[in-house]
Every structure is written in structure tokens, then in C-alpha cells.
Structure 1
Amino acid sequence: MHNFKEKLLNEAKSWGADLIGIADTNRLANMETRPASLLNGFPRAISIAVQLADGIMDGITDVPTELYSQHYQRVNALLDNIACRVSSFIQNNGGRALPIPASQILCEERFTSYISHKAVAINAGLGWQGKSLLLVTPKYGPRVRLTTILTDLDITADSPIKNRCGKCTYCTDACPAKAIKNVNTTLHYSSRNEAVDLDSCVAHLNRVSGSGHIARYICGVCVSTCPWGRPKKQRAITN
């Protein structure tokens, strides 16, 4: 199975994945999914990340741009394509696979979907949960989009990594909605409202997105401002 994992990682990267990790779904047992039985029969969850383009992210100041909106959607489409290819690879090697759409809100009151891609990625060791609730990766910061593929193959699981936000307040200071509470966590928050005023965040999203050429529910300011996502020469991280 070790050789299979190496082949899987290499194939996924050849199809466009920038990061890939494996989560033991026992770590996700108490997480809300839709349906509630989604994880049944799937001991592993494969997390895949594709990085967002720096040229686009650097153009975001206090509102999303049209370029960001289009790029956001194109990267989601790429992730869905990669997930389909990975699923086929798994099935051709005797396993079962269940690809989850990269971006689909099923409940607009609570902003939930089939599964939390961020929670899977955190438990797959791709990064940690930042103060903005986003996944923050060591290489790309939060400048990534995510997808998940469930499988019944017993692939060696990866482990979560240490939270490195420290005393940094970049996302807190930059948030136009003043929604980020500057609260740190070791692995994940007990609830989203522990870290973020979700009502203020959503109210801001409704003001700046969903019209013209800007898709609904995107902002990108906390993604853009995080020093972990900037080129190393631009970073100023306070731990």
C-alpha cells in the first residue's frame, strides 16, 4: 500500500494537484456530513489542494476582484476534474471512491456542504486552521482551494501538523467586516463562532459579491493578506 500511495500522489500531481494528503476518517467521526452516513465504509479521505495564482491574489485589497471570481471558479472546476481522475485511478486498482464537489453550499443558513474540505485537509496534514478558519499551508498559506475523495483503500494516513499562526494578526487587522476575533487554536475550534463572527462575515459577503461579474459568497481579503501565502521575501510572520 506504500507503493500505491506514492503512485497515487504522483498521478494526482501530474493532473494538477499541488498538495495531497491522506486523513484517517476516524478523526472525522464527530464531524457533520451530508448525508450523516457519508463516511460509512470509507476509512480514508484524500485531501487535494490546488494553489491560487499570486498575481490574482495580490490584486485583492478590501473587496474581491472580477479576476479573482473567475479564477476561483476555474480552480474549483480543475479540482473536480482531478477528483474524478483520482477516483478512476482508485477504482482501476480495486478500490471504491467517492469524490466530493470542490465547492457547493447545501445550506445557506449555516454554510455547510457534504463535508468540510478544510477539516479533512487539516487532519490530512496539509496545514493548520488559521484564525480566519481557513486552512493555512506552510507552502501556499491559505491561497489554495480544496477537494476530497473518500476511499475504502487502507492507504497510510498522514498526521496533522502544528498550528503556526502564533501572535500574527494580519487577517484580523485586514478583515473588512471586523469578523475575525484573533483567537488561536491547537487543532480546530469548537465552533466557527469561537473564531469568527459569521453573521458579520456573511453580511459583508452579501455586500461585495453576487452581482456583476463577482460570484456569490467570495471575498478573498483574509486569503490575500496572510503572510504565509506571500512570496518569502514579502513575509513578516510573528510567532
Structure 2
Amino acid sequence: MSDIRDELFKNAKQYGADLIAVADTTRMASMETSPEDLLHNFPRAISIAVQLANGIIDTIVDTPTEIYSQHYQRVNALLDNIACRLTSFIQNNGAKALPIPASQILCKERFVSYISHKAVAINAGLGWQGKSLLLVTPQYGPRIRLVTILTDLDIPADGPIKNRCGKCTKCTDACPAGAIKNVSTELHYSSRNQAVDLDSCVEHLNKVSGFGNLMPYICGVCVATCPWGKKKRQSRKETTV
């Protein structure tokens, strides 16, 4: 079924995806989902990423900006569009697909959704879980947004990659809430509070977002400060000098 996988990936890129990979859902059997049997009959989870605009992310210093808020929403809409179009492709090839919305909070007390897009992306090998809990990709750092499609399409799965945060403390040092604990993990944390003081993070989000033209629950400081989001652009500049 590698031909279908190749065509699926090609279509995803044509629709606007920057990264795509496939996770084996048996690796995520203990993951919290809503409903609990969400992964039942779906042996594969397709993880799709769209890169955020560097020019917009670079406007963030210590608070989110209005242009970041708007861009965040537009990229989420693009991801949902990509997922819907790929769902049609999958169904036309005789398989079942369930696209998970790019950004839908089901519980505002615990900040959970149907499934963790980041956890799917980690198991698919798009990147690793950084100290900020964000997915960090080799290509774009955490400057991406994610969407997931669950499917029974018979295609090969990818696997996790090595965590490359090392001794870096950039996101810890920059966090305006002081919420990031500078703790590394090989694959994923046993709980979010192992890495981040979630209460402090949410308290800060409530302070800085949701007013005027800002959508609620965004910050972006840890996204903007991660060196992995800047390395590729720096290397390009160096090669043109």
C-alpha cells in the first residue's frame, strides 16, 4: 500500500501541509481520548503540520500579538480543510477516516480535546516533546500547528525520533509565567505537570489573551524563543553571505 501512502502524502502537500507522518495507534493504547474508545478500529493516525509564518512569530516578545491571534486561527482553519480533503481521499480508497479538529477544547479546566495532536505527532516522528510541552520539529521547531486523521487505511507507520532539546533552557528562561520546569523527557512526560506548572500557565493565558482582538488561551512566547525555530533561517543567511 506504499503507492497509496505516497499519493496521500503528495495530496497533503498540494493542499498546504508542510509535514506529514503516520503513527501506529497501538503505541497510544494508554492515551486519554474522548470518547475512551476513540482509537478503536483505527490502527493508524495521520499527523499533519502547517508551518506558522516566521514574520508573525517574530512579532512576539513577551505577550501574544493581534496578528499572531489572527494567523493562529487561519492556520487552524487551513489544517481542518486539509484534513477534510484527505478524509475524502481516504474514503475514496475504500477506508474509513475520522478527522479530529485542529483546535477544539472540550474541557477548559483540564485543557483536553478528543486526542492530543502533539502526542500523535510525537509517535509519528514529526518531532519530539520539548520542555515547554510543545512539539519541536527538526525543520521548523515549534512554529507549527497540527491536525490528526484517524484511519484504518492500510499504510506503513513511522516511528518516534530522538529528543534534541539537550541542556537548552531558552523556553524556561523566557516563559513570562515561570511555568516551564526545565525537565527533559526521552519520549513523553508521565503528566503535563511534570514539565509545566499548568495552573501558572493558564493563569497567565487568562491575563494576556482573550481581550480585544486576541483569541483566548494563546501566548506564543515559548514558540518564538525556541532555537529550533530559528536555526534553519540562520543557516540560510550564513550561506548567502
Shorter-chain TM-score: which interval? over 0.9
Pair 1:82–1:233, CA change in 2 (3 A): closer
Identify the residue that residue 146 of structure 2 maps to in structure 1: 146
Deviations 1:77-110 (A, max 9, x none): 0000000000000000110000000000000010
Identify the residue that residue 64 of structure 1 maps to in structure 2: 64
Deviations 1:1-40 (A, max 9, x none): 1111111000000000000000000011000000111101
| Equivalent position SS for 2:203 | helix
Are residue 35 (structure 1) and residue 35 (structure 2) matched?
Answer: yes
Q: 4+ residue stretches of structure 1 with deviation over 4 A?
A: none
Q: Partners of 1:179 and 1:156 in 2: how far apart?
A: 38
Identify the residue that residue 193 of structure 1 maps to in structure 2: 193
Q: TM-score, with normalisation over the residues of structure 2?
A: 0.96
| Residues 4-153 of structure 1 aligned to structure 2 (within 5 Å) | 4-153=4-153
State how many pairs are aligned: 235
| Equivalent position SS for 1:84 | helix
Given that residues 140 and 232 in structure 2 are in contact (C-alpha distance below 8 angstroms), is that contact kept between their aligned partners in structure 1?
Answer: no
Are residue 170 (structure 1) and residue 135 (structure 2) matched?
Answer: no
Given that residues 227 and 234 in structure 1 are in contact (C-alpha distance below 8 angstroms), is that contact kept between their aligned partners in structure 2?
Answer: no
| Equivalent position SS for 2:138 | coil
AA partner of residue 118 (structure 1): K
Given that residues 22 and 124 in structure 1 are in contact (C-alpha distance below 8 angstroms), is that contact kept between their aligned partners in structure 2?
Answer: yes
Given that residues 189 and 195 in structure 1 are in contact (C-alpha distance below 8 angstroms), is that contact kept between their aligned partners in structure 2?
Answer: yes
Given that residues 42 and 150 in structure 1 are in contact (C-alpha distance below 8 angstroms), is that contact kept between their aligned partners in structure 2?
Answer: yes
Q: Partners of 1:30 and 1:56 in 2: how far apart?
A: 37
Gaps (5+ residues) in structure 1?
none
AA partner of residue 201 (structure 1): C
Q: Partners of 1:224 and 1:11 in 2: how far apart?
A: 29
Q: Partners of 1:185 and 1:141 in 2: how far apart?
A: 17
AA partner of residue 177 (structure 2): A
Are residue 230 (structure 1) and residue 210 (structure 2) matched?
Answer: no
Deviations 1:27-73 (A, max 9, x none): 11000000111101000000000000000001100000000000000
Q: Partners of 2:197 and 2:154 in 1: how far apart?
A: 39
AA partner of residue 72 (structure 2): Y
RMSD: 0.8
Identity %: 77
Q: Partners of 1:32 and 1:232 in 2: how far apart?
A: 34
Given that residues 138 and 228 in structure 1 are in contact (C-alpha distance below 8 angstroms), is that contact kept between their aligned partners in structure 2?
Answer: yes
| Equivalent position SS for 1:107 | coil
Given that residues 19 and 48 in structure 2 are in contact (C-alpha distance below 8 angstroms), is that contact kept between their aligned partners in structure 1?
Answer: yes
| Equivalent position SS for 2:67 | helix
Give 1:233 deviation, angstroms. 5.4
Given that residues 209 and 215 in structure 1 are in contact (C-alpha distance below 8 angstroms), is that contact kept between their aligned partners in structure 2?
Answer: yes
Give 1:163 deviation, angstroms. 0.2
